Structure 1
Amino acid sequence: MQLFLMRHGEAGYHAQSDRERILTETGRHHTGIMSNWLTRNVNAFDLVLVSPYLRAQQTWQEVSKHFPEPRKWLVLDELTPAAEPGKAADLVLAYAEQYKADKVLVIAHMPLLGYMVSELVAGVEPPIFATSGITLIDKHAEQASIVWQHAPHSIS
């Protein structure tokens, strides 16, 4: 399975709550850059799992413009910034198995994503994800490894 973990695009701070923060124009632009770049590595996603927070939903809206409709996409309350990383990683893997998904995109937040990488890849310290940044984890049976990690500034 190829697991693409993506942090939402840059979001503004003028909102009633953290959950309601919206993408900035820069966030939309950087997400577009990453989406264009990502199309060179993957044609389509079998499964997309997205945080319920508005900025993550908007990031998915931007990404989805570049790809065909996935077989399945879900909003998961377990993908919020302060969610429990082990539970989130287990849930992502369970959904991937349930939907027989080979290419899975997860759009969520820091610090959750960094800790999820540590849960999924043995011996790896939690990496920092730039906004709109993506890490690809290749997972087969119990073996998992980081293939690459990119951010908008590293590909443009």
Structure 2
Amino acid sequence: MKVIIMRHGEAEMFASSDSERQLTAKGVDGNLAAADKLNAQGVTQLDKVLVSPYVRAQQTWDNIGHKFDTQNVEVFEDITPYGDADDVLQYVCAIAEMENLDSIMLVSHLPLVSYMTSVFASNATPPMFVTSGVAVVDFDPVKRTGEIEYQL
């Protein structure tokens, strides 16, 4: 299965709370460029999308959702910046089996995107993510092993 892990686009520096920070114009452009690169790699259909409840992650999905064929989008409270990557792995493995998923996208934040990539890619060194950065992992939810296919 493909696990696509995306960091939200560039966000404003200040808001009344971290969860309320909004995307900048540069963040919107970066999101669209990342989605176009994914499409060019053949990623056009997603079985499921999990999005952080934070405004900038929600806006990221709102920017790029039209670039993918999917009807299954869920706000997932566990993928905020300091979520637990092992808990996310457990959840994704469970829903992959229940829903027979071939692909899933996770729209989240630093540092969690790095840690999630590391657990899905069989304990690879956590990679750095630029804003609107993406890692695509070829993951076997039964064996719970995977490899990074590419990073954008």
TM range, normalised to the smaller chain? over 0.9
Deviation, 1:49, is 0.4
Separation of aligned partners in 2, 1:99 and 1:61? 24
2:22 maps to: 22
Using structure 2 for the length normalisation, give the TM-score: 0.92
- In structure 2, stretches of 5+ residues that fail to align are none
Deviation, 1:121, is 2.0
Give the 5 Å matches for 1:3-152. 3-40=3-40, 41-68=42-69, 70-140=70-140, 141-142=142-143, 143-150=145-152
Deviation, 1:102, is 0.5
Contact 1:47/1:96 (<8 A) preserved: no
Deviation, 1:38, is 1.1
Separation of aligned partners in 2, 1:53 and 1:123? 27
Deviates more, 1:55-64 or 1:84-93: 84-93
CA-based RMSD: 1.2
Q: Which residue identity is paired with 2:80?
A: T
Deviation, 1:35, is 0.9
How many pairs were matched up?
149
Q: Percent identity?
A: 36
Q: Which residue identity is paired with 1:38?
A: L
Deviation, 1:114, is 0.8
Separation of aligned partners in 1, 2:123 and 2:75? 29
Contact 1:47/1:99 (<8 A) preserved: no
Deviation, 1:101, is 1.3
Separation of aligned partners in 2, 1:84 and 1:43? 28
Using structure 1 for the length normalisation, give the TM-score: 0.90
Separation of aligned partners in 2, 1:102 and 1:76? 19
CA deviation string 1:84-110 (max 9, x = no partner): 111122112222222211011110011
Separation of aligned partners in 2, 1:57 and 1:42? 20
- In structure 1, stretches of 5+ residues that fail to align are 151-156
Q: Which residue identity is paired with 2:90?
A: D
Q: Which runs of 4+ in 1 moved over 4 A?
A: none
